[in-house]
Structure 1
Amino acid sequence: MNMTIDQRGTSRVAIIEGDGVVIGSVQEALDLMADASYNGDAHKLLLDKANVAEDFFELRTKLAGDILQKFTNYGVKIAIVGDFGGYDSKSLRDFIYECNQGKRFFFLADRAEALDALHAAD
């Protein structure tokens, strides 16, 4: 896993890049938040959809809810970048839509748009 920091003013976003799944469990999400905070002084994360376990996108597993609750508890914002159009679940589409209306969690198609959303979310 590689972490780079994108900074605009005082806003710092940790861009996480890696091969394979980086967040596959609640503990891995907690470890990633701690790493970004400690090593990057960042409380905003951006990562690719490919770095998130597929179970996250199956809402019945409750993995998304459990992980995003930890992000909320620790005041960390996240953007996941990728193509989410391939999912048939109306519940997931609704979930993504609702997240994108807020200021904490974003599911966006491109990195520039995700960085803009994260930097604006203070």
Structure 2
Amino acid sequence: MADEMAERSGTPVLVCDPDGPPIATERDALDLIGAAFLGAEVVAVPARRLDDRFFALGTRVAGEIMQKFVNYRIRLAIVGDISRHMESSSALRALVAESNAGGHIWFVPDLDALDARLRASA
């Protein structure tokens, strides 16, 4: 499956292929943002596509990638189980909680949970 545009809960979403290329740099984020400019308001990225450095907050990879989405006003949803990363990082747990309280970057367990967030934010 390739990345595909889909309407989810009335919102155009770029749903990224779980087996697509890894996302590890700002350039990778900009590539997704460019693809989203075809009409997506949200980019749904499977957590397993994110380089492990994304979850090690000291590397600043998460901040750089997330900031690109904020700058371009494209919402980002990290979709999937990140519990193994959260178990070892209180800073990551705090980032996830803070992000999920906002409206721009969400960490959700699956696409059904993303649909629920989209309905709630409409």
Bin the TM-score by the shorter chain: 0.7 to 0.9
Residue type at the aligned position of 1:27:
R
Aligned position for 1:56: 54
Aligned position for 1:72: 70
Measured after TM superposition, the shift of residue 23 of structure 1 is 1.4
In 1, Cα distance between equivalents of 2:8 and 2:23: 26
Unaligned 5+ runs, structure 1 = none
TM-score (norm 1): 0.87
Measured after TM superposition, the shift of residue 47 of structure 1 is 1.6
**Is 1:4 aligned to 2:27, yes or no?**
no
Identity across aligned pairs (percent)?
32
Residues 30, 120 of structure 1: CA spacing in aligned structure 2 closer, same or farther, 3 A cutoff? Answer: farther
SS of corresponding position for 2:77: strand
Unaligned 5+ runs, structure 2 = none
In 2, Cα distance between equivalents of 1:30 and 1:121: 25
Residue type at the aligned position of 2:36:
A
Residues 51, 8 of structure 1: CA spacing in aligned structure 2 closer, same or farther, 3 A cutoff? Answer: closer
TM-score (norm 2): 0.87
Aligned length: 120
What whole-Å deviation, never above 9, does each CA across 1:65-114 have from its counterpart, x for those lacking one? 11111111100101111112212100001101110110001111111111
